[in-house]
Structure 1
Amino acid sequence: MAERGTDIARARDVIAAGGLVAFPTETVYGLGADASRDDAVARIFAVKGRPRAHPLIVHLAADARLDDWAIEIPDAARQLAAAAWPGPLTLILRKGPRVAAATTGGSNTVGLRVPAHPIAQALLAAFGGGIAAPSANRFGAVSPTTADHVATDLGDDVAYILDGGPCTVGVESTIVDLSRGVPVLLRPGGMPRGAIEAIVGPLGAADVAAPAAPGTLASHYAPRAEVIAVDLD
């Protein structure tokens, strides 16, 4: 099984060396690697069995500069970042040069998020860069909300599990696309639509030209469990 504990320095060193660390956010546990290294990010796809065209979300420290990771940033994105970060909201923006091509699946956009979990923030501050992280599970499996879930699903395929206890939100972050003009909701999640619209106004409808959004498989929310039909008549 993977090494497991609460050692931020150990987790930072694994990320810095190009390895994988599972770490808690307020939504779910993420499987993290250096977002600026194609070789490190490739390990995420290999361990998860995730198609390379599925982009990853880049997690940032609370004091990170948005302009270091994205370009052509609209005012609406800055308003949402100021109001909702740290929190369960991911913004899709035009990607900057620090983001590895593998992180975005070759797309010219990137999902950016500042998680609220104190352990995630401690790791990000210690590392000093962006951490690309999908949910810490095999592709298509239920998203993990405890370190035990990660250990059971990934075993020793992850170098270190940073144990922060159970996640408080339990569903992935909300994703809003701001790369093409009118803000568009790509994935519902931990931040309600109404809270977003209170900041930037009505959200547009997604279409086939929208960037691919991670974590939209229905199986993410479908635990392996017996289902019993009850006839109430």
Structure 2
Amino acid sequence: MDARRIARAAESAKNGDLVVYPTETVYGLGADALSETAVERVFEVKGRPRDDPVSFGVASVERAAEYTRPTEREVEFMEAFLPGPVTVVVEAGGAVPEALTAGRDRVGIRIPDHPVARDLLREAGPLTATSANRSGTGSARTVDEIDGSVRTACGAVLDVGELPGTESTVVDVSAGTIHRRGALADRIATWIERD
């Protein structure tokens, strides 16, 4: 994808707009993850209940550590599985808005294994990492599958064609819990149980 399109999308997100971006699983809905106002807009556009947290997308494990407080074991896990189709729940740092975590002290970290997503995250900084769909409907593998109300609410849409569609596995390494089974779930379960 043209670097200028990614740069324009990053600028759009920095200005408070929502952005649709591809991941290695499904299309995501991004907004400035450090802005309470932008995060609230994600909930509004998705029709998502405010008590259902949204994940925190970053470009690298190092960037994740700037905003969160992962344990040594969580860092080891992230280095083994990220970037990839995995969301890792860790302790949130003070800069992470409560709107994102639904008032909890932990946040899901997502580092997508898609070059467009990582380029966008490098340029824009942390973005929300939630599927680009209305709550209660299926995740979108193509931009055409995204509800029109979600697309029109966005300042930019980065369309790379059809995506695989398998959602990320959500895991709390410290608790040894897989909250949602998705891609790599069996490998993740084996890693968690190894000690």
Same fold (TM over 0.5): yes
Unmatched tracts of structure 1, length 5 or more: 1-5, 204-233
What's the counterpart of residue 50 of structure 2?
52
Decide whether aligned partners of structure 1 residues 182 and 107 sit closer, same or farther in structure 2, where only a CA change above 3 A counts.
Answer: closer
What's the counterpart of residue 172 of structure 1?
167
8 Å contact 1:174–1:190 — kept in the other structure? yes
Q: Give the drift of 1:149.
A: 1.4
Aligned partner (choices 18, 36, 39) of residue 41 of structure 1: 39
Decide whether aligned partners of structure 1 residues 85 and 155 sit closer, same or farther in structure 2, where only a CA change above 3 A counts.
Answer: closer
Q: Report the RMSD for the aligned CA atoms in angstroms.
A: 2.0
Q: Give the drift of 1:66.
A: 3.1
Unmatched tracts of structure 2, length 5 or more: none
8 Å contact 1:137–1:153 — kept in the other structure? no
Q: Give the drift of 1:126.
A: 1.3
How high is the sequence identity, in percent, across the aligned residues?
38
8 Å contact 2:16–2:38 — kept in the other structure? yes
Rounded Cα–Cα distance in structure 2 between residues aligned with 1:188 and 1:202 = 18
8 Å contact 1:20–1:32 — kept in the other structure? yes
Q: Give the drift of 1:153.
A: 5.7
8 Å contact 1:79–1:200 — kept in the other structure? no
Q: Give the drift of 1:69.
A: 2.0
Instruction: Please tell me whether Structure 1 or Structure 2 has the larger radius of gyration of its CA atoms.
Output: 1
- 1:108 maps to 2:105: yes
8 Å contact 1:69–1:98 — kept in the other structure? yes
Aligned partner (choices 25, 29, 32) of residue 27 of structure 1: 25
Rounded Cα–Cα distance in structure 2 between residues aligned with 1:32 and 1:79 = 26
Residues 119-175 of structure 1: per-residue CA shift (max 9 Å, x gap): 101101111x2111211011111100111212646241222111122113x122101
Structure 2 letter corresponding to 1:9: A
What's the counterpart of residue 155 of structure 2?
159
Decide whether aligned partners of structure 1 residues 184 and 147 sit closer, same or farther in structure 2, where only a CA change above 3 A counts.
Answer: same
8 Å contact 1:25–1:120 — kept in the other structure? yes
8 Å contact 2:21–2:29 — kept in the other structure? yes
What's the counterpart of residue 93 of structure 1?
90
4+ residue runs over 6 A deviation? none
Count of paired positions = 193
8 Å contact 2:61–2:75 — kept in the other structure? no
Rounded Cα–Cα distance in structure 1 between residues aligned with 2:175 and 2:27 = 30
